[in-house]
Structure 1
Amino acid sequence: MHIPDNYLSPSTCISLATVMVVVWRRAVDKVKNEFNKRKFPLLGICAAFSFLIMMFNIPLPGGTTGHAVGSTLVAILLGPYAAVISITVALAIQALFFGDGGILAFGVNAFNMAFIMPFIGYYIFKLIKGKSENKNRNYIAAFFGAYISINAAAFLAAIEFGIQPILFKSILGFPIYCPYPLKVTIPSMLVPHLLVAGVVEGIITAGVYMYVRKLSPEVIYRKHESENSQLRLRPIYALIATMIILCPLGLLASGTAWGEWSVEELKGLIGYVPQGMQNGLSYKTIFLDYVVTGLPETVGYIISAVLGVLGIYIIIKLINKKVLVVRDR
């Protein structure tokens, strides 16, 4: 679901990035008012969780791969506006250092995964949960919130891909950017997510929510919560450490995610390279595809996971000090 550069027109990318600027500003204001210094590290912890869970690729129907995102889980734990910031930071680290998602397309990926997913997932969760404190109903609500939200994001990505050949063609009638129309992009994106990726997203969300609810329930977002409750973060730190160690399992899924092909792969599929991809943005990342040159793939994957988490920690610290200026309450 990470849309690379040059699959979408610059105007498409700029339009959704403009929407995200408004969302980011609103999210910063909300988090500034709701978070104190004691709770602020949770933004980084949840961003690290999302970054890591996206490294666990799974095989999907059609020979492609996919992954969970964790946006709904973060929204349940921190609230939807805080989830916007956490997921945005995770996506920024992926794009800047690992080539996972485009630079020009960053606003589009943030729109799909850092805005649409957490808000839809959170409110579906609240709708199904209601005022009930029954734990089984809570877990069911978490599952369906996550399942519906990732499919909503996949549907939007399919629309973004599919409108390109309608709106942007060369004088010879060839697509300039993504070459696949809506009749191809919608089933190609939705079927694997409806059948597999959405189920995985739901199970992970419900499972981790169950884990946090049992071991660190004070972390879970409440609009009117005690400011003096002690946060028990050791179980969550243990979860993050375990994910770093196990992340090479994501290498077991072979194949490329749909819509994330390299120029060479796309040429092999359709027989030519669209004009916009030939002359588009080219950004070279340091650890492309989580590979560390000269090291075994598994070791490089773990090192990339550690570096990604460290990068998230640094960005969250900078946001804390330079942007949000979170006050003590």
Structure 2
Amino acid sequence: MHIPDNYLSPVTCGTLFAAVTPIWTIAVIKVKKQIKKHHETLPMIGIASSLAFLIMMFNLPIPGGTTAHAVGGTLLSILIGPWATCLAITVTLLLQAFLFGDGGILSFGVNVMNMAVIMPFVGYWIYKIGKKFKHEKLGVILGSYIGINSAALLAGIELGIQPLIAHTNNGSPLYCPYGLNITVPAMLLAHLLVAGWVEVIFTLLVFKFVNKVSPTKIYDNSNNANNIHWIYLLIGLALISPLGLIAKNTAFGEWNNQELQHMLIKQHLGSQVPEGMLNGFHFKALFSDYTINGLPISIGYILSAITAILVFLLLVRGLKHETK
């Protein structure tokens, strides 16, 4: 679901970035108020960012030769609220894009809209309805499942409208070459059939874990024992993160130019990568694809996960000192 650079037109990227900017502003204002009321919200944002990062490292094989992953948007909204989740996943996506090359720089606002806005707010709204009618667990299930599929639908639309809004004079697509008839079913089927259910399972498991270690307030980690539980969970996920390497293929809409060209030829849709994708913005991340030169890819995966956890926790620690 991490849309790379050059799959979307500059107009699409600019429009979505402009759309999320006021949402970020509102989120900062609301989270500042939340921190004053619940001081542990700030360290929990660091934990939430780490948790989202780790969840997204576990790629899943999808029938048809692609992959997908869970995100944890609804889970984090239940833990710390949707506005704090918006900021937490935004920070996660920022680190993924700049340090690990997962998701684009120009398409950053698009990915934020899908995974840090639509998913957590839709999922949380459904969860609250379930809780209101005394069916909290059902709310967790439906919220997490519908939340991630709402984001997948939006991503499919964003990709699929590109041939309609960005093309040459002869009608050739400049960016994503697939129309809505391909992108929407591809994104939805992957998440309806596989990723959505993994999202549900993971959300339920962590929801039960949190209720066990902190049953009175789901995001109240006011004692060191509860914080230790979280650290154990994050380290455990980091150590098993190489399981995400089992899914070898690339997710739909995240191919590099060589992979896309091979796909187009295989599908008899031509042999040329769209011009905008060839001549677009190409950013080389320091640890692209969570690899570290000279190390086995599994070790690089683990070190990338641990690095992300440290970055998030150090960032929160710095913010904590600033707010004192």
Shorter-chain TM range is: over 0.9
Query: How far 1:296 moved relative to its partner?
Result: 0.6
Q: C-alpha separation between the residues in 2 aligned to 1:39 and 1:168?
A: 43
Gaps of 5+ in 1: 222-226
Give the 3-state SS of the residue equivalent to 2:61 in structure 1. Answer: strand
Q: C-alpha separation between the residues in 2 aligned to 1:11 and 1:318?
A: 35
- Report the AA paired with residue 86 of structure 2: V
Contact 1:93/1:312 (8 A) holds in 2: no
Query: How far 1:260 moved relative to its partner?
Result: 0.2
Post-superposition CA distance 1:258-286 (Å, at most 9, x none): 00000110111122111111111010000
Q: Share of identical aligned residues, percent?
A: 48
TM-score (norm 1): 0.92
Contact 1:212/1:219 (8 A) holds in 2: no
TM-score (norm 2): 0.93
Say yes or no: does 1:261 pair with 2:255: yes
Aligned to 1:224: none
Taking a change above 3 Å as real, the CA distance of residues 255 and 229 of structure 1, as seen in their structure-2 partners, is closer
Aligned to 1:90: 92
Aligned to 1:283: 283
After TM superposition, the structure 1 = structure 2 runs for residues 100-115 of structure 1, keeping only pairs within 5 Å, are 100-115=102-117
Give the 3-state SS of the residue equivalent to 1:49 in structure 2. Answer: helix
Say yes or no: does 1:204 pair with 2:202: yes
After TM superposition, the structure 1 = structure 2 runs for residues 54-203 of structure 1, keeping only pairs within 5 Å, are 54-130=56-132, 132=134, 137-203=135-201
Alpha-carbon RMSD: 1.6
Query: How far 1:234 moved relative to its partner?
Result: 1.8
Give the 3-state SS of the residue equivalent to 2:67 in structure 1. Answer: strand
Q: C-alpha separation between the residues in 2 aligned to 1:219 and 1:250?
A: 32
Query: How far 1:316 moved relative to its partner?
Result: 3.1
Query: How far 1:211 moved relative to its partner?
Result: 0.7
Gaps of 5+ in 2: 265-270
* Count of residues in Structure 1 that have an aligned counterpart in Structure 2: 315
Aligned partner of 2:241 among 232, 243, 247:
247
Contact 1:218/1:230 (8 A) holds in 2: no
Aligned to 2:267: none
Contact 2:34/2:41 (8 A) holds in 1: no
Give the 3-state SS of the residue equivalent to 1:35 in structure 2. Answer: helix
Query: How far 1:306 moved relative to its partner?
Result: 1.0
Query: How far 1:61 moved relative to its partner?
Result: 1.8
Q: C-alpha separation between the residues in 2 aligned to 1:111 and 1:20?
A: 6
Give the 3-state SS of the residue equivalent to 1:273 in structure 2. Answer: coil
